[in-house]
Amino acid sequence: MLALTKRHLLLYWRNRSGVLFSVLGALIAFVLYLVFLKHSMQQQWRHLPASAKLLDSWLIGGTLAIASITTTLSALNQMVADRENQVQLDLRQTDGGPLRLTLSYFASATLIGFGMQILLFGIMLGYFHVQDQLTMNWPQVGQLLGLMLLGALLATALNALLLQQIHRLSSLTSLSTVIGTAAGFLVGCYLPIGSLPHFAQLLVKLTPASYLAALSRQVLLQPQLHSTFAHHTGARHHFEQQMGVRLHWTTLLTTQQMLLVLLAILVIAYLGALVPQLRRSHR
């Protein structure tokens, strides 16, 4: 399995254009914020102290969620390519069998998604540190790394489920375009969730990555929210709901509730992706 994982990683990094396109969706969100959204959003929240830092951290959380989706999907291109070229038939004849082959695809996609999120985080934090003096402490970074890993694991499983019936790279290219375009809206990164119509808000709340973005934003914004809204709990809840820092159903969900939702989806997604391979291995 380690040899297969290494193979997938090498093939991914050799395709430099594929590496660039895998982070393009996240980079578009970053550039759109800098060029079009930042000024207008700062005007909306200009009454808050240090609004620039609040919004910068908000963007980072959403962009990392987009990156987890697009980079793992790009990494799983190799699975579809092997399926189309019937390479999987040869690889399944090894001692690993179908299950380990599938796990090797998952492992490489997770590592790629995790690594690319770290890279993007470093770029965005460096830029905002120079531009707005944004800083983060080590406990925040540690929690965020854990969420990056969770996001890579979750996106890998969900993307693998989507690709189960995809047998041609041409079909995957079209699907990747749709997902890359929609991801920014579905995690509430191009537009805050509070500015969307009711049906669009419902779609966002049904998207697993929006919970990941919300958790990341909670980690990134926690010190600033505490100082900004120290004596204004109602105003804080309004900001969190409007900006997707916490998702609202009948009430605002707590951190523990959102984490439980993500873990439940993670288990269901991996069972859905791996059970067919277990059956194939058993046969």
Closest CA relative to residue 228, chosen from 63, 45, 60, 38 = 45
Q: Does the model's pTM come out above 0.75? A: yes
Residues 145 and 150: their CA atoms lie apart, in Å, by 9
Residue spans of the domains in the chain: they are 2-282
The SS3 call for residue 197 is coil
Closest CA relative to residue 71, chosen from 147, 13, 136 = 13
**Across all residues in the chain, what is the average pLDDT?**
89
With cut-offs at 50, 70 and 90, classify the pLDDT of residue 256.
very high
E strand or H helix that includes residue 15: none
pLDDT at 192 over 80: yes
pLDDT at 211 over 90: yes
Closest CA relative to residue 212, chosen from 269, 173, 165 = 269
Residues 232 and 22: their CA atoms lie apart, in Å, by 41
Structure tokens at 85: 């070229």
Q: What is the per-residue pLDDT for 102?
A: 87
DSSP state of 194: G
Closest CA relative to residue 64, chosen from 168, 181, 184, 182 = 184
pLDDT at 67 over 70: yes
